[in-house]
């Protein structure tokens, strides 16, 4: 790791960026899933939604686990959101979004997250699912507007000025 990276990771102003962005974007993503699937479409309950998330690890047994597998789904959701948030925070340290590139960063990262989740993670999990295109468009838009764009904007706002200056911004 470079000296600048170490300074950024240990600076007082930098450390809250990751957990704050993680909780913000992970919560927006989960809230959108609840609103769309539980309230608008009335496909599932909140518990079933969380069990569906945990079924990636536990298979169909997750739907018989009650709130235990529901809470496991919540934990899995935030772990996955934390991974993608941490990766973006490290990326933003060297290539911060600004102006017009903020939208490009958000759209690009949203597409990347959707692709990794739907073309790699879910097919390799116990769900073995592939994306269905009518619902995939909704998923892509949710990830762009309620996960990646807020993350790009938040990290830009909170990123320490020294890191931005080091990168010529």
pLDDT score at 162: 45
Residue 97 is predicted with a pLDDT of 72
pLDDT at position 168: 47
The region of weakest confidence among 22-26, 130-134, 144-148, 163-167 is 163-167
Distant-in-sequence contacts of 68-77, Cβ < 8 A, 24+ apart: 70/46, 73/49, 74/30, 74/50, 77/26, 77/29, 77/30, 77/50, 77/53
Q: What is the mean pLDDT of the chain?
A: 84
Residues in the chain: 169
Work out the pLDDT band at 61, boundaries 50, 70, 90. very high
């Amino acid at each position: 790791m470079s000296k600048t990276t170490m300074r950024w990771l240990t600076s007082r102003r930098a450390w809250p960026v990751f957990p704050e962005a993680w909780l913000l974007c992970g919560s927006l993503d989960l809230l959108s899933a609840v609103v769309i699937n539980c309230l608008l479409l009335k496909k599932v309950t909140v518990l079933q939604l969380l069990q569906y998330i945990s079924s990636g690890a536990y298979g169909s047994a997750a739907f018989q686990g009650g709130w235990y597998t529901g809470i496991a789904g919540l934990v899995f959701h935030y772990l996955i959101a934390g991974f993608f948030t941490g990766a973006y925070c490290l990326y933003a340290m060297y290539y911060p979004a600004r102006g017009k590139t903020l939208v490009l960063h958000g759209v690009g990262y949203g597409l990347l997250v959707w692709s990794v989740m739907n073309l790699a993670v879910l097919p390799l999990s116990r769900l073995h699912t592939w994306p269905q295109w009518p619902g995939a468009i909704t998923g892509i838009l949710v990830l762009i507007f309620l996960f990646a764009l807020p993350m790009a904007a938040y990290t830009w706002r909170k990123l320490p000025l020294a890191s931005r200056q080091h990168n010529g911004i």
